[in-house]
């Protein structure tokens, strides 16, 4: 990741560690089933049945444990003082770079499961009207407040018609930033 001049990383995070719960449970179940399977195999089938069982357990382990862990490890969200960067994918990588100057509104959503795991979905409304959804981020309430402060400080930007240059919005008042009227 290359940073622009004056840009610094504020947050570098993976998706919530709750995403690793299913692979962990699957690994425990696979280990139990493998042990029970080896114990129940007739002696006359050894060693070929034991090797076949280990091949099957290994294949299931790769698909249900290792691939989700690798996907989790490679899915990152980086927030700098100028943009939001997301990276996902193992073989085909999908990258998104969203400048903070293009973000109009920051919101988050949390289901009951998300609250229990301390995660949520970050929703960014861009100046073009498009909504960017970043799922399963940890510490979502803190990230939401951090991004709100950054958006307030850095954007969105609009032209100043006196000289045509783009500037921050120092003229925005607190009343303009409220999402819901009182």
Distance CA 77, CA 86 (A): 4
pTM tops 0.75, yes or no: no
The domain at 81-170 falls in which architecture?
A: Roll (2.30)
Query: What pLDDT sits at residue 18?
Result: 84
Per domain, the residue ranges of the chain are 17-72, 81-170
Mean pLDDT of 18-35: 93
Spatial contact of 105 and 90, defined as CB atoms under 8 Å apart: no
Each residue's pLDDT tens digit, 52-108: 999 999 999 999 999 999 999 999 999 998 999 999 988 888 998 999 989 989 999
Q: According to the 3-state scheme, what is the secondary structure of the chain?
A: CCCCCCCCEEEEEECCHHHHHHHHHHHHHHHHHHHHHHHHCCHHHCCHHHHHHHHHHHHHHHHHHHHHHHHHHHCEEEEECCEEEEEECCCCCEEEEEEHHHEEEEEEECCHHHHHHCEEEEEEEECCCCEEEEEEEECHHHHHHHHHHHHHHHCCCEECCCCCCEECCCCCCHHHHCCCCC
């Amino acid at each position: 990741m290359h940073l622009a001049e004056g840009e610094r990383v504020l947050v570098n995070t993976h998706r919530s560690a709750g995403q690793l719960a299913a692979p962990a449970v699957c690994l425990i179940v696979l280990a139990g089933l493998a042990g029970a399977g080896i114990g129940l195999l007739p002696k006359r089938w050894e060693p070929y049945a034991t090797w076949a069982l280990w091949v099957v357990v290994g294949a299931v382990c790769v698909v249900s444990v290792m691939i989700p862990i690798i996907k989790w490890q490679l899915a990152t969200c980086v927030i700098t003082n100028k943009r939001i960067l997301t990276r996902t994918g193992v073989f085909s990588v999908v990258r998104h770079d969203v400048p903070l100057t293009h973000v109009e509104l920051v919101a988050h959503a949390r289901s009951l499961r998300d609250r229990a795991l301390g995660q949520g979905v970050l929703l960014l409304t861009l100046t073009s009207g498009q909504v960017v959804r970043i799922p399963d981020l940890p510490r979502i309430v803190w990230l939401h407040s951090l991004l709100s402060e950054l958006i307030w400080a850095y954007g969105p930007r609009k032209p100043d018609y006196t000289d045509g240059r783009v500037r921050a919005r120092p003229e925005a008042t607190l009343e303009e930033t409220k999402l819901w009227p009182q």
